[in-house]
Amino acid sequence: MISNFDGKSDILWRDTTGELVSWNMNNHSYSGFDFGHVDTSWRVVGTGDFDNNGTSDILWRDSGGELVVWNMNNHSYTGFDFGHVDNAFQVAGIGDFNGDGNADILWRNNTTGDLITWDVNADHSHTGFDLGIVDPAFQVVNVGDYNGDGTSDILFRNSSTGNVVIWDRTITRTPALITERLINRSTCWRRCGN
């Protein structure tokens, strides 16, 4: 999902050839905009307001690990290259983990379970924060503000047991202030939606 200053979520589409299109939604109708072709070695790994201008930006990653954000301004954009990130780490979510209004990046090493956030500033400088190792059986399934405190929390699900854990985060980031809430669900239940 992206946004273009009108307060409504818009839809970002990409076809198998690399063509990128947005639907600017207006109730149940839309107007489309074609951004053109983006090489298929690049994929959209998230959207969020990385430059704090009120619109959603597009986070891209190529197959070699290069990370780029398109800072959107209606249908034009400026790019910023964050640089190379080891492919052992995947973008697991986008949220505001430090409460500054900018989108931040949640990274996960799916083999080791290491979990890291990048607190991204409007100028794209960023600070890493290592949250430690989380059992790889627990997969990140979503990021959202589940406790209503203005910072993003992390929703995990154990792929074997179906157990769901929510990490309620606080702005101070002190590990002792991460609160886990366990919800038991069998593996036959699946999360729907965004």
Average pLDDT over every residue of 128-150: 90
pLDDT of residue 79 exceeding 60? yes
CA pseudo-torsion sign 59, 61, 66, 70: negative
CA-nearest of 91, 118, 86, 85 to 102 is 118
175 DSSP 8-state letter: G
Burial class (CB in 10 A: 0-12, 13-18, 19+), 35: middle
CA-nearest of 76, 114, 73, 75 to 92 is 114
Q: What contacts 174, CB < 8 A, 6 or more positions away?
A: none
> What pLDDT is stored for residue 177 in this prediction?
45
pLDDT of residue 77 exceeding 80? yes
Tell me the pLDDT of the chain averaged across its residues: 85
Q: How confident is the model at residue 15 (pLDDT cuts 50, 70, 90)?
A: very high
| Strand (E) or helix (H) holding 126 | strand 126-133
Q: Determine phi and psi for 177, rounding to 5 degrees.
A: -95, 10
Distance, CA of 30 to CA of 178 (rounded, Å): 41
CA-nearest of 104, 69, 111 to 86 is 111
> What pLDDT is stored for residue 175 in this prediction?
42
Percent of the chain with pLDDT over 70: 84
176 DSSP 8-state letter: G
pLDDT in tens, 86-120: 999 999 999 999 888 999 999 999 899 999 999 99
